[in-house]
């Protein structure tokens, strides 16, 4: 446990800034019935709550080190809480994280878990959504659509991708000095690339056939254009989408993570999905809508 947490015995914690570094802060909530099922194993719920935040830090190029936790519970079950704590402890060890504190309260609504995560980057090196320029390539880590496939199937290897995301946390620092803009893929690949396009004032063209999909997802949904659109818009992937100069493509081998070039940055605005002939594919909904 971090020294500034005072063994969770005080009302607040102290974060000692790392010399020569900026502190990066992110927060995300997951809610039963929206982001997970209330009867999912509590240990996997805990890990998802942590990892959706670690995914944000990775996309910023940050190294995670600590977090705050807020539980809003419709009821209290000692065994459920023990399993939740077990999942948190496992990921604290996996990702070298410390719990700084938090809060717990009753709620008449659904179970929700909010995590605020902290990371460090060398001063001035945090990667923002803004920064993509025409001529950059567009890249993504891992494979896309597995979580959506797992949610739809609720079985097999894809279910594990839905229950417990695998964000490329160790790859995050490799993006420093490499990526011109980056974002984690949570709302859907196209929707999140749209956020980069908007912040950077550019257009992003994605080649549908380049979007990496796992063998398990291909077996489930097939290889039709509709299947690719579904994968690119279903969200909950927690991979990193980023832009970078094409001259730096050979440097994208950090942390043993699969990186795929899926498109290009152009003059204009918005995000387009293109078929093999370069024609735009109509996409009615580019990703998850929160409201």
Q: How do residues 91-107 score in pLDDT, each as one tens digit?
A: 999 999 999 999 999 99
Q: How far apart are CA 216 and CA 218, in angstroms?
A: 5
Would you say residue 65 lies in a domain?
A: yes
Would you say residue 3 lies in a domain?
A: no
Q: How confident is the model at residue 121 (pLDDT cuts 50, 70, 90)?
A: very high
For residues 55 and 154, membership in a common domain is answered with no
Q: How far apart are CA 215 and CA 137, in angstroms?
A: 25
Number of structural domains in the chain: 2
Sheet hosting strand 203-207, strand order edge to edge: 181-184, 240-244, 137-141, 259-266, 203-207, 270-274
Residue 21 has pLDDT above 70, yes or no: yes
- Give the per-residue SS3 of 197-217: HHHHCCEEEEEHHHCCCCHHH
For residues 30 and 148, membership in a common domain is answered with no
Q: How far apart are CA 56 and CA 184, in angstroms?
A: 6
* Residue located via tokens 């995050």: 172
Would you say residue 279 lies in a domain?
A: no
Q: How confident is the model at residue 254 (pLDDT cuts 50, 70, 90)?
A: low
Catalogue the long-range contacts made by 211-214 (C-beta closer than 8 Å, 24 or more residues apart).
Answer: 211/140, 211/144, 211/145, 211/260, 211/262, 212/140, 212/142, 212/143, 212/144, 212/258, 212/260, 212/262, 213/143, 213/144, 213/145, 213/146, 214/143, 214/145, 214/146, 214/158
| DSSP letter (8 states) at residue 103 | E
Q: Which helix (H) or strand (E) holds 25?
A: strand 21-31
Neighbouring C-beta atoms of residue 226, cutoff 10 Å? 11
For residues 110 and 148, membership in a common domain is answered with no
Would you say residue 283 lies in a domain?
A: no
Measure the CA angle with vertex 168, ends 164 and 173; round to 5°.
145
> What would the pLDDT profile of 153-195 be if each residue is shown by its tens digit?
876 678 888 999 999 999 999 999 999 999 999 999 999 999 9
For residues 110 and 170, membership in a common domain is answered with no
> What would the pLDDT profile of 257-266 be if each residue is shown by its tens digit?
999 999 999 9
For residues 154 and 227, membership in a common domain is answered with yes
For residues 115 and 141, membership in a common domain is answered with no
CATH of the domain at 215: 3.90.650.10
For residues 150 and 200, membership in a common domain is answered with yes
For residues 256 and 156, membership in a common domain is answered with yes
Dihedral of CA atoms 257, 261, 263, 269 in degrees, nearest 10, equals 40
- What mean pLDDT do residues 194-212 have? 98
For residues 191 and 266, membership in a common domain is answered with yes
Would you say residue 52 lies in a domain?
A: yes
Helix axes 146-153 and 156-163, enclosed angle (nearest 10) = 110
Cα atoms in the 13 Å half-sphere on the side-chain side of 254: 19
Q: How far apart are CA 205 and CA 224, in angstroms?
A: 19
Would you say residue 173 lies in a domain?
A: yes
Would you say residue 131 lies in a domain?
A: no
Would you say residue 116 lies in a domain?
A: yes
Domain interval for residue 65: 19-122
Q: Where among 98, 122, 146 does a domain terminate?
A: 122
For residues 178 and 59, membership in a common domain is answered with no
């Amino acid at each position: 446990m971090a020294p500034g947490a005072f063994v969770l015995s005080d009302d607040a914690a102290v974060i000692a800034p790392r010399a020569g570094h900026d502190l990066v802060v992110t927060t995300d909530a997951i809610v039963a019935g929206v982001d997970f099922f209330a009867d999912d194993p509590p240990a996997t719920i805990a890990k998802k709550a942590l990892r959706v935040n670690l995914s944000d830090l990775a996309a910023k190029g940050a190294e995670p080190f600590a977090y705050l936790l807020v539980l809003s519970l419709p009821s209290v079950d000692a065994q459920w809480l023990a399993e939740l704590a077990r999942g948190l402890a496992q990921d604290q060890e996996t990702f070298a994280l410390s719990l700084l504190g938090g809060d717990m309260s009753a709620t008449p609504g659904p179970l929700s878990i909010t995590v605020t995560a902290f990371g460090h980057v060398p001063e001035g090196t945090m990667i923002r959504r803004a920064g993509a320029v025409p001529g950059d390539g567009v890249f993504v880590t891992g494979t896309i659509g597995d979580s959506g496939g797992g949610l739809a199937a609720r079985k097999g290897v894809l279910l594990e991708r839905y229950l417990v995301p695998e964000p490329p946390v160790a790859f995050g620092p490799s993006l420093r000095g490499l990526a011109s803009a980056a974002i984690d893929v949570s709302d859907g690949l196209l929707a999140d690339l749209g956020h980069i396009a908007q912040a950077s004032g550019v257009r992003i063209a994605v080649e549908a056939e380049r979007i990496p999909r796992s063998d398990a997802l291909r077996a489930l949904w097939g290889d039709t254009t509709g299947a690719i659109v579904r994968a690119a818009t279903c969200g909950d992937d927690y991979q990193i989408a980023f832009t970078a100069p094409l001259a730096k493509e050979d440097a994208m081998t950090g942390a043993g993570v699969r990186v795929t070039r899926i498109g290009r940055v152009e003059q204009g605005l918005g995000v387009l999905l293109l078929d093999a002939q370069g024609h735009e594919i109509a996409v009615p909904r580019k990703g998850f809508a929160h409201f």
